[in-house]
Structure 1
Amino acid sequence: MKTLLLPTLMALTLLAGCGDSDVQEVRTWMKQVDAQTKVQVPPLAEPKTFIPFAYQHKDELDPFNPSKLLAELAKQAAQAGASGLRPDTARRKELLETYPLDTIKMVGTIEKKGVIHAVLQVDRAVHQVVVGQHLGQNYGRITSIDENSVTLKEIVQDATGDWVERQSRLELQESKENTK
């Protein structure tokens, strides 16, 4: 019995130490500080009054009128149409126009009867081309052939939809056997 009495007595003593003795002092101090403290909030500034802009030139053309933009676009289209640069879509396409330019490799040149032919490889097939033939998917036309490259002019559309010429080049691809 003594063994149970001693732990029970100690537990009661510890619980008595956790009593509400100092909490009342803290609560009275908080009430006193709360009563003395005054919150100062600065008043909000008055909002500025909005004065709408009055468009004085009623008889003149509104700068944001869509018809003004359409007139300018029509003028630019007329100037672009005057240059006449367009691909010939009525022409029958050649075989090498079905392949993108980056899949075509130049592997050499051959001269036949004084005319230089470029030897091009697509996949595993080999093709011979001359100046004037078409090549690639962007309406490319071969303009010159030399021992190391094939130069061509492509007709592509720019960001505004106008057709422009772009020069491209296929460089000679040396095989691994030649470099050893």
Structure 2
Amino acid sequence: MLKLSHTSGLRLLGAALVCAGYAALTACTSADSDLARFIEDTKKEPGGRVEPLPEIKPYETFVYTAADMRSPFLPSTPGAGAGYSGIRPDSKRNREFLEQFSLDTLKMVGTLRLGGHMFGLVQTKDGLVHRVTAGEHLGQAEGKITDITPAKISLIEIVPDSLGGYMERPAALALNE
């Protein structure tokens, strides 16, 4: 292995630093000259054509005229709409046995006349037959029996309408022969 004295090692180190510095300085100058040449060439080229801006139409204001009308996003109050008729289910009335069944599960099976009074015979889905008369209730929609004939049992149901209130709807149980 080669032994170097302290002074010759410093000389060698100094020479290496000078070479590295020279290489770094020459590399920077060549890049700058390339950049300067590119800028000059770009300035000599003609510029592109810029399209004119489109015509801007003036903004037309909108006048909202329905501010005093009812909001469709708020629930309507009963009595406020034209469809309110004051009809309501009686929540204090005791429910009758046949009101627990849906009207389409009940079946009229006949009539019975006792002492000039007409009764209807209604069968539930479990096969039991019940005697009903006008004024009684059946079905889950507050159905009140209005008339009993040998062919059908007529009733009026109280159902919700689309305005948040209630309306009366006729219904019937017909005799199945």
TM range, smaller chain: 0.5 to 0.7
**Percentage identity across aligned positions?**
36
Q: Which residue of structure 1 lines up, in the alignment, with residue 98 of structure 2?
A: 96
Which aligned segments of 4 or more residues in structure 1 are displaced greater than 3 angstroms? 46-51, 73-76, 78-81
TM-score by length of 1: 0.59
TM-score by length of 2: 0.60
Segments of structure 1 that go 5 or more residues without pairing to the other structure are 1-45, 57-61, 175-180
Q: Which residue of structure 2 lines up, in the alignment, with residue 140 of structure 1?
A: 143
How many residues end up aligned between the 2 structures? 122
In our comparison, the structure showing a higher alpha carbon Rg is 2
1:54 aligned onto 2:61 = yes
Q: Work out the CA distance in 2 between the residues paired with 1:48 and 1:145.
A: 79
Higher mean alpha-carbon deviation, 100-109 vs 156-165, is at 156-165
1:13-52 alignment to 2 at 5 Å? 49-52=56-59
1:69 aligned onto 2:76 = no
Higher fraction of helix: 1
Aligned to 2:112, the other structure's residue is in SS state strand
For residue 106 of structure 1, the aligned residue among 102, 105, 108 is 108
Amino acid at match of 2:153: V
CA offsets 1:10-44 (integer angstroms, 9 cap, x no match): xxxxxxxxxxxxxxxxxxxxxxxxxxxxxxxxxxx
Q: Work out the CA distance in 1 between the residues paired with 2:92 and 2:55.
A: 66
Q: Work out the CA distance in 2 between the residues paired with 1:95 and 1:111.
A: 22
Amino acid at match of 2:143: G
How far 1:80 sits from its partner (Å)? 5.1
Higher relative contact order (CA 8 A, sep 6+): 2
